[in-house]
A and B are shown apart, each in its own frame.
Chain A
Amino acid sequence: MDYVVLMQQITNGLVNGMTYVLIATGLTLVFGVLHIINFAHGEFYMLGAFFTFFAAQLLGLDYISAAIVATIGVAVLGILANRLFFWPLRREHEFTVLLSSLGLALLLTNGGELIFGADPKYIPSPFADEVVEIGQVVMTQQRALIFAVGAVVLVLLYLFIRHTSMGRMMRATAQNPEGAALTGVNIRNVYTVTFILACGLAALAGALVGPTSMIFPTVGSWAVLKGFIVVILGGLGSIPGALIGGLALGVVESLAGGYISLGFAQAIGYAIIIVVLLWRPQGLFGHARRV
């Protein structure tokens, strides 16, 4: 029955990987289009989970409505974060922006601890206890939902970037912000839309993953670390890189956790990074500036 165990591990890995993909896509989008490394990205994931929890608790919404409300709410917060922390600094050195986002991350984590309390919370979901069976492989409906929603959202994002005029403006800004501005692209709108998408994606990941584990205010640093591993692996700014990097990381971690040791699985992501970077310093799909 080793084969079944192997398939189960791979399936688990793909589901975890899809979470990483959702987190990393927003991170890579903000970097690819605006050349900003957003340290606070994981905090939007955390907020997505907490907003879902409170929408369900305080507004009495069912899980799916709560998740949608949370995603929209955090996307709106993304507009605010952009206006206060990123848009005013757009002409500054990249370190200034990076440090400003670190400040935002610390503000949100510690502010979250202040407002939400440090004790772990649990998001109730009707899908958390039901299972789906595919052949002999078993997973909860919640995890199937993570994978399905992730796949659909990525396809929609791809279509948006490829085929809408805003998507074209984003791509133009990514290639050359000044040139794009000269040809009439409203850079300010591009910033806003990019942050809405990125924060929304992070929040959606939080809302989806929330019911599979406990949530607490420092969960964002875990998320941003995984996101960073994936984007470094796939190449900063590359969405296909985020997809392949995320799924690969999920599967490798799951296999390492199953066959070697759980503790080691945590470190394996970094080990992969080292190997990949020694071979391709710009990541699998990225372009890097070298010394």
Chain B
Amino acid sequence: MPRTLLPFALIAAAIALPVVTGNTYYHHLLVLWMLFSLLALSLNIIVGYIGELSFGHAAFFGIGAYVAAIMGMDLGVPGVLGLVLAGLIAGLFGFVIGYVSLRIVGPQFAILTLGFGSIIHTITNYWVDLTRGPMGISNIPRLAFGDVYVFTSAREYYYLALAFVIAFAYACHALMASRTGRAFIATRENAPLAASLGVDVFRMKLLGFVVATAVAGVGGAVYAHYMTVITPDVMSLHYMAALIIMVIVGGRGTIAGPIIGALIYVGLLELLRAVGPLRLVIFAALLTLSVIFLPGGIVSLWRRVFGDPETTAAAPGEGVGR
């Protein structure tokens, strides 16, 4: 099969997936897969394209979820506008946090984003008047287009999330092929050199950070409407680590990587449900082994086996891991 057709074949397969089974439980897993794919793809912009590690990404997901829930329930904002607002407000937080923390690079940035993620988590936990604290918000209305159409079933949310993933994956692909994308890569590989070539490194990084956080916000809004219940747990350390595991194990700096990473996460989490707490130990081992032995993630296996000079040239696993 020609390589250019592969994405279309995969999209067709993804569209066909929920039809294969009528089991709502599997549909639920598919929704989670797509939502985590969207989040992992957006985190990938920061980890894979900008070349910084963010430990606060789950917080923006949470902000999006809370914005959608609070806007929808307290202010009666229609669902679709809520999605847009969730993205905008998460992106605004991303702008402020990125503006402060992107002035520092390397491991300090990682710690700073962890701190910011935690402050947002803490505020959500204690600002009971707005967020109902640890009890969370329940009975969030389903996403609806006015009175015309209401998203209720898991299958509908799967298609909605899939549409977002396809659109965003395409945007990432187009970005990487563009001048801006090349500036991102230059910034990641060698920031001083990129700066000397006229790339505004700080602006590039801030731009990437804001886009990534805004997308995470939209993902959070879809999640809130789908689950109809959210608690501050969505921004806990557990999810921050989980998102990083997806991106690293799947393969940072690629488009397929984070999606595969999300599939592995959701799939293994279910398969290993029987072994209880041990499953998280297995995830931790997976992360550690991947970091040490497979820095390019699972997608780099594909490249090793089949060889793909086009993507290998831009493969960041080796670049970042050097």
Binding site for B on A (CB under 8 A): 31, 37, 85, 88-89, 92-96, 98-100, 102-107, 109-111, 113-114, 118, 221, 225, 228-229, 231-232, 236, 261, 263-264, 266-267, 270-271, 273-274, 277-278, 281-282, 288-291
Contact = CB atoms under 8 A, between A and B. Distances in A.
B107 A291 contact: no
Contact of A289 (B105, B114, B288): B105
Contacts of A291: 102-103, 105, 191, 195, 201-202, 205
B241 A102 contact: yes
B214 interface: no
Interface of B: 53, 100-108, 110-112, 114-116, 118-119, 122-123, 125-127, 191, 195, 201-202, 205, 237, 241, 244, 248, 277-278, 280-281, 283-285, 287-288, 291-292, 295, 320-322
Contacts of A110: 277-278, 280-281, 284
A92 B114 contact: no
B188 to A, nearest CB: 11
B119 A267 contact: yes
A113 B244 contact: no
18 contacts: A37-B107, A37-B110, A88-B292, A92-B321, A94-B106, A95-B321, A103-B285, A106-B287, A107-B288, A113-B277, A221-B237, A228-B111, A263-B125, A266-B126, A270-B118, A277-B103, A281-B104, A291-B205
B105 A290 contact: yes
A111 B101 CA distance: 33
Contacts of B195: 291
A272 to B, nearest CB: 10
A45 B195 CA distance: 42
B60 to A, nearest CB: 16
Interface centre among A85, A95, A277 (most CB of B within 10 A): A95
Nearest to B204: A291
A102 to B, nearest CB: 6
A232 B115 contact: yes
Contact of B285 (A107, A229, A263, A290): A107
B280 A106 contact: yes
Given A96-B291, A277-B104, A291-B105, A102 B244 contact: yes
A95 B115 contact: no
A264 B202 CA distance: 32
Given A99-B291, A102-B244, A107-B288, A288 B115 contact: no
B292 A100 contact: yes
Contacts of B291: 96, 99-100, 103
B110 A114 contact: no
A38 to B, nearest CB: 10
What 10 A-B pairs are tightest by C-beta distance, nearest first? A103-B288, A263-B126, A106-B284, A270-B119, A110-B280, A37-B107, A107-B284, A103-B287, A99-B291, A110-B281
A95 B202 CA distance: 20
Interface centre among A89, A110, A281 (most CB of B within 10 A): A110
Contacts of B277: 110, 113-114, 118
Given A94-B106, A106-B287, A229-B115, A267 B122 contact: yes
Nearest to B283: A106
A228 B248 contact: no
A99 B106 contact: no
A261 B241 CA distance: 30
Nearest to B53: A95
A111 B265 CA distance: 19
Nearest to A236: B108
Contacts of A100: 288, 291-292
A221 B117 CA distance: 13
B118 A103 contact: no
A114 B281 contact: yes
Nearest to A110: B280
A88 B277 CA distance: 28
A98 B116 CA distance: 18
Given A99-B248, A277-B104, 18 more contacts: A31-B107, A37-B111, A89-B292, A96-B292, A98-B53, A98-B107, A103-B284, A106-B280, A106-B281, A106-B284, A107-B284, A114-B278, A225-B115, A232-B111, A267-B119, A267-B123, A281-B103, A290-B105
Contacts of A229: 115
Contacts of A289: 104-106
